[in-house]
Amino acid sequence: MSVRQRTRNDGSSYWQVRFRENGRECSLSWDNPAEAQRYDDLIKQVGPGRAREICKIAAMADRDTTVRQWLSQHNDGLVGIESGTVKRYRAYVANDIAPALGNIPLHALSRDDIAGWLKGMAADGASGKTIKNKRDYLATALAHAVKAGKLASNPCDDVKAPRWDRTEMHFLTPDEFRLLLSCVPEYWRPLVEFLVVSGCRWSEATALKPAAVDRQAGTVRITKAWKAVSGGHALGVPKTKKSVRTINVPGAVLGKLDYGGEWLFTNSGKDNRRHRDPDGPVRLASFHANVWRPAIKRAQAAGLTKSPRIHDLRHTCASWLIQAGRPLPSVQQHLGHESIQTTSDVYGHLDRSSGQGNATAIGQLLTGE
């Protein structure tokens, strides 16, 4: 495929797009080199047959905004979200969406185009979760196009992302947690214990300052979380609106914390005096490599059969609350889930009280008791 400039008998220029279709050499001509190049790019993305269909649709409408142009405009207009999120969306466009769909006029984008794009990502080995995230981003951007009058309907509505399996969660029993905690260096035990009883996300716990703790009331106020930004980290708001919350934490746990610095958890332990920022907040990468993984290996050598992630302490907190009979709305508030549906979807299988009730009722009917 190529774009070549040609000259008519009257001396005027035109641009010819040459391509092969069904084994035959074909060509189409354009008076404008930019339009010819755009058609050539379109053929490369969607094939000559689909490109011809798109051009017919475009000829019936006086709109030529492409998918790439609309997504760029959409990203530039986003407000109220973290800069890192916008950066990720722009990467979606540049690396995933634009190469497959970018040159298609927005109003000509079809369900089949999107389905083909999703199948292509799956064929390239992308995970189900990754595909879902990118599909959901595109669906949201196209929903805004519908609101703006650029589209009559959202072609993503009928295209579902492939199902994906959530990363296996490890729920530690109290005995397993005590074994793991005994293998953590003493300086770091208050942090690990706080994570499991609070259910805080790592980004929330390490953003806490001493003033967030009311030791008399036994509460912790969570209003900030670390966000990854270009060149490092920045304080921002937690993941959802309901992640801004006040939780109760056992006094015995709060009594082990150090309230003398700027941050509740720092790198200033005796084993960390050479840390480049000893009084600064704890960072995940350093803690995982230098503290967590060595502790897991020691615990496994002592009999632990699981390999929990740091985030599994949050899952463990939820499982303990449910085992203690706490209702799901209470667990939702403690963890800061935006929706009870999230709590139910992730942890509902742990609550067997209603399931046991079902079994009892069916059993009684079966036996006539």
Would you give per-residue pLDDT tens digits along the chain (369 residues)?
578 888 876 677 878 888 787 777 777 776 778 878 887 888 888 888 887 777 655 554 445 688 999 999 888 877 667 777 888 899 999 999 999 999 888 888 999 999 989 988 888 878 788 888 899 999 999 988 887 777 888 999 888 877 655 567 888 999 999 999 999 999 999 999 999 999 999 999 999 999 999 999 999 999 999 987 666 788 888 888 889 999 999 999 999 999 998 999 998 654 544 556 667 899 998 999 999 999 999 999 999 999 999 999 999 998 898 888 888 899 999 999 888 777 777 776 665 555 565 566 666 666 766
Structure tokens at 236: 């921002």
Q: What is the per-residue pLDDT for 60?
A: 42
What is the distance between the alpha carbons of residues 167 and 150, in angstroms, rounded to a whole number?
A: 38
Best CATH choice for the domain 63-165 from the list 2.30.40.10, 3.40.50.10330, 2.40.160.20, 1.10.150.130 = 1.10.150.130
Q: Is the pTM of this model over 0.75?
A: no
What is the distance between the alpha carbons of residues 198 and 211, in angstroms, rounded to a whole number?
A: 16
Q: Under CATH, which architecture does the 174-354 domain have?
A: Orthogonal Bundle (1.10)
What residues does each domain of the chain span? 1-60, 63-165, 174-354
Q: What is the per-residue pLDDT for 3?
A: 83
Q: What is the per-residue pLDDT for 78?
A: 79
Element (H, E) at 284: helix 284-287
In angstroms, what is the C-alpha Rg of the chain?
A: 28
222: nearest Cα among 326, 317, 337:
337
Q: What is the per-residue pLDDT for 188?
A: 96
- The DSSP result for 125-179, as a single string, is T--HHHHHHHHHHHHHHHHHHHHTTS-SS-TTTT-PPPP-PPPPP-PPPHHHHHH
